[in-house]
A and B are shown apart, each in its own frame.
Chain A
Amino acid sequence: DVKVTQSSRYLVKRTGEKVFLECVQDMDHENMFWYRQDPGLGLRLIYFSYDVKMKEKGDIPEGYSVSREKKERFSLILESASTNQTSMYLCASSFLADGQFFGPGTRLTVL
């Protein structure tokens, strides 16, 4: 069964901390994505990557960075967490223009 896994389901951090969210897929997909999901705002794309070491900004990249050193792993980094980054974070992967496979999500709370 194909799988996208995220390092944590729930995470609580303090303002100013550096936060790492990890995502791993086992489908050998080229494309990987990070979204945040907030009530009333739908899904918003933060960053995506179409190959190892390649990345592109999505709609809301401010305050975030990403790393893709290996094909199966895509990390989202909050350089200095702020309370307005409290959200549900969803990782996904896809093969070319095919549908995306999503992980279970990480609910991050920044205090």
Chain B
Amino acid sequence: GNSVTQMEGPVTLSEEAFLTINCTYTATGYPSLFWYVQYPGEGLQLLLKATKADDKGSNKGFEATYRKETTSFHLEKGSVQVSDSAVYFCALVKTNAGKSTFGDGTTLTVKP
């Protein structure tokens, strides 16, 4: 079956540091890949997506590239802010029914 493995957290960084959160997936064919962010006490928000190999999704300074050869979709940001502190989820979707497979989430804390 499908699965998503995320880098284990928690991750703690200083403001303006470089962020990488690793995500690898197992699925047949060509799933669509997503990153979501969840701030405390809220639901998840779609952060970025990529639907085919070599696509780069980007939003709010975050980027991730769909790498078919390594089955990866790592999240990166060049300079994190305190306001980026949240839980980040990697996910894949394979069918039009939209059923997603989520990773376990990675908690990011950014200190001033």
Q: Which residues in A have some Cβ–Cβ distance to B below 8 Å?
A: 4, 30-31, 33, 42-43, 45, 48, 50, 56, 58, 90, 92, 94-105
Whether A97 contacts B89 by the Cβ 8 Å rule is: no
Contacts A42-B102, A50-B97, A97-B96; A103 near B43 (Cβ below 8 A): yes
Residues of chain B lying within 8 A (CB to CB) of residue A42:
102-105
Q: Which residues in B have some Cβ–Cβ distance to A below 8 Å?
A: 32, 34, 36, 41-46, 49, 89, 93-100, 102-105
User: Bound complex: CA of A17 vs CA of B45, how far in Å?
Assistant: 32
Whether A94 contacts B102 by the Cβ 8 Å rule is: no
- With most chain A CB atoms within 10 A of its CB, the pick from B34, B44, B49 is B44
Whether B96 contacts A48 by the Cβ 8 Å rule is: no
User: Bound complex: CA of A50 vs CA of B51, how far in Å?
Assistant: 20
Classify the secondary structure of A's interface with B: strand
Whether A90 contacts B89 by the Cβ 8 Å rule is: no
A28–chain B nearest beta-carbon distance, Å: 14
B82–chain A nearest beta-carbon distance, Å: 22
Choose one: B46, B96, B103; the contact of A100 (CB below 8 Å): B46
A3–chain B nearest beta-carbon distance, Å: 11
Whether B104 contacts A31 by the Cβ 8 Å rule is: no
Whether A100 contacts B105 by the Cβ 8 Å rule is: no
User: Bound complex: CA of A42 vs CA of B88, how far in Å?
Assistant: 11
Whether B105 contacts A96 by the Cβ 8 Å rule is: no
